[in-house]
Structure 1
């Protein structure tokens, strides 16, 4: 049972790596933890063949059905901008008011990711573009109108699905009301329940059946929830609202558990256990090996000692296995094609010029 539980706990983690190549220490802890997936950042991406090789090595260690993740929204958040070509921001694309352009944005991002071996892209952003968050979200958010956010995201997600890429709506229940960056500290968003439900949460509600994953924010909403607890560890937001009231059936993932928005509130051990107990399926621990191991060991220890928490881990692991099978994650490309990449570069540049 212990070996099975260890595997189930590992599956709940998506982890980051330190550089462009696996170190011997990374290979060792990847074999120990056997995480459910990996996420690459610009520090891991130097050139195309190296990126493909890195993903291939990780896949061989942790399993073919792993989530191979990357952040590509366009604009400020675009991990492939230097490798392929800069992608226009969501706000620039939305400004065209043309669904065909929204669709093309999703298609190009999905094809770029897939060409290098990724199968999961953490996009689109569904936060509202409210004045208070303009300096934080910048061009990542597209509209203050929930209907406008949905209008952009729907064709974008449809193209992700057509290309075999899993998308992820973020950051539930919404960061549009925040003047703080949750990378550094925890925003306390003073919006009422009605404002949250009718406005911030509306795009998540409208797109729930289209979203394989929803990412939960490290922000508190005391007026709406009655508690100044980060949504990422809140049973109210994750289980009561997202799962039960909205009826979301996909995978719930935390924002990076190394961010100040959560680590200013809890140590990593408590944060990891609290998040899974609240209903989270996947924890992102995106850089420090020490924090990955601490999160993993704390989850395992709690699962071994608490029957109720063990059931939470088992439920999340089963949900992960179910959706990995349902989504039939694309097999890793047999070989890298520089021609495909060059064609994508040309197409992305034309798209940017058009925008």
Structure 2
């Protein structure tokens, strides 16, 4: 069957990708405002001829069942996407979770060739594991040049603040991903790295002249277009040098004029999520969708209501606001993309037991550890006294996926006689009065919808007080190098010779390597605990 057959409404359905839960059952849904019930989702898929879904939630094993279920509901093969910039395990536990891309950028400063090899391995493994669980559209790599340390949403998702390094590593990632029939996506065009506010909440402005955009922001996009990236995701940004009125996602001057005509991109143009404040506040949801297609978008990601969106699109085409030939061109690009994915029918429905066997293989685990070890930083030597506590600080315990009773950040200090205490940022101040000899472990990175990069002024004051009181005898920072730089510059950490370790990753592998490094455990015998009990 030609997937672009049917009524105009059914054809336009191929241009919509909706958000859905990766869990199998309704009572597991974690974001009901964005993730429809199974009944509604199935109705949309069966009646609207949707082009695909983007998934979040559920284990990797469960996801292999979920993706089969979704494909079986659809008359035409679905694109199934996920934001797995750091591996399938970043979103779906059980699969491989890599350190953030900026870890590779750190390695590239010392050895670009080695960093590129790691990036290629990442691309191969992510593509392999994605297909194993039924994901056929990898929404990666991020090619934003993060040259603003206060960026609250890109940050360590970027490879580097150097456009050359970003380009080299992104292309290497794409070369690896090409090993398997998955779609890739460079994001967020034309560059979200130099912003200090979050497009999930409002509309950032990039005030630079065109010459600066050419020298910095556009360099990695040119490189990935040259490497035949399958799709490019738009950014909800205002760029007055090109369009003073409309965000990039809604700008024909930017998407059709710059990306298509001048840069020569022939693949899919997909919006960033349309529920984000960067465009959601610009006009009604339906008008935003029409404006995006008008601008040159092929796929609308996460419109608020796909049924109302389709009605608005049908009207826009029937009235001539959007030319039919433009829709036909988009449908043809979608068709060609699906041909790449589905020409091998085995990529559509897989044996779940086979899928599980493809995840977290030895090669993947070794690559993760190599990247973590090569990007690790440390300073000073550990000297700790009795009455010890392991104070772990996280943003939000309810959404914390990298920490439990058995993760190394808890168990290794516990074996050394540390009592574990866990604080969220909003409760950290209550731990100031204790006089325990403290190992402070801080999990901190940029996060969507938070509005800052994790170090608000109030939190900075608390950390300064903790360090000033000299109760912190060891520090491990997981995630943001900008947070590490702040601790080294703005506290008494160095003056007081406090031993510290920094790791880009937050997963269990990262915790194990960081704790072993801090306590110098790699060189001690099996009875190493005895050393610290005296």
TM-score, reference length from structure 2: 0.61
* Aligned equivalents of 2:243, 2:40: Cα separation in 1: 44
Q: Which has the larger radius of gyration?
A: 2
1:219 equivalenced with 2:230 (yes/no): no
In 2 relative to 1, CA 292–237 (structure 1 residues): closer, same or farther, beyond 3 Å? Answer: same
* Aligned equivalents of 1:277, 1:135: Cα separation in 2: 30
Listed as ranges, the matches of 1:1-355 within 5 Å are 3-18=6-21, 20-21=23-24, 23-42=38-57, 45-48=58-61, 50-74=62-86, 78-80=90-92, 82-97=93-108, 98=114, 99-131=116-148, 133-209=150-226, 210-222=228-240, 224-285=241-302, 291-306=305-320, 308-326=322-340, 328=342, 330=344, 331-337=347-353, 340-341=356-357, 344=360, 346-355=362-371
* Higher RCO (C-alpha under 8 Å, 6+ residues apart): 1
Q: Name whichever of 335-344 and 253-262 sits farther off.
A: 335-344
Q: Is the 8 A contact 1:188 1:228 kept in 2?
A: no
In 2 relative to 1, CA 76–337 (structure 1 residues): closer, same or farther, beyond 3 Å? Answer: closer
In 2 relative to 1, CA 157–218 (structure 1 residues): closer, same or farther, beyond 3 Å? Answer: same
Q: Is the 8 A contact 2:137 2:182 kept in 1?
A: yes
Per-residue CA deviations over 1:198-217 (Å, capped at 9, x if unaligned) read: 21011111221421000011
Shift of residue 294, structure 1, vs aligned partner: 2.0
Shift of residue 167, structure 1, vs aligned partner: 0.7
In 2 relative to 1, CA 19–162 (structure 1 residues): closer, same or farther, beyond 3 Å? Answer: closer
TM-score, reference length from structure 1: 0.90
In 2 relative to 1, CA 346–294 (structure 1 residues): closer, same or farther, beyond 3 Å? Answer: farther
Shift of residue 320, structure 1, vs aligned partner: 1.3
Residue 467 of structure 2 corresponds to which residue in structure 1? Answer: none
Q: Is the 8 A contact 1:75 1:89 kept in 2?
A: no
Structure 1: 4+ residue segments shifted above 6 A:
none
In 2 relative to 1, CA 263–336 (structure 1 residues): closer, same or farther, beyond 3 Å? Answer: same
Gapped regions of structure 1 (runs ≥ 5): none
In 2 relative to 1, CA 136–343 (structure 1 residues): closer, same or farther, beyond 3 Å? Answer: closer
Secondary structure of the 1:127 match is coil
Shift of residue 296, structure 1, vs aligned partner: 1.9
Q: Is the 8 A contact 1:76 1:140 kept in 2?
A: no
The total of aligned residue pairs comes to 347
Shift of residue 71, structure 1, vs aligned partner: 0.9
Q: Is the 8 A contact 1:174 1:217 kept in 2?
A: yes
* Aligned equivalents of 2:87, 2:129: Cα separation in 1: 15
Q: Name whichever of 160-169 and 317-326 sits farther off.
A: 317-326
* Aligned equivalents of 1:15, 1:202: Cα separation in 2: 31
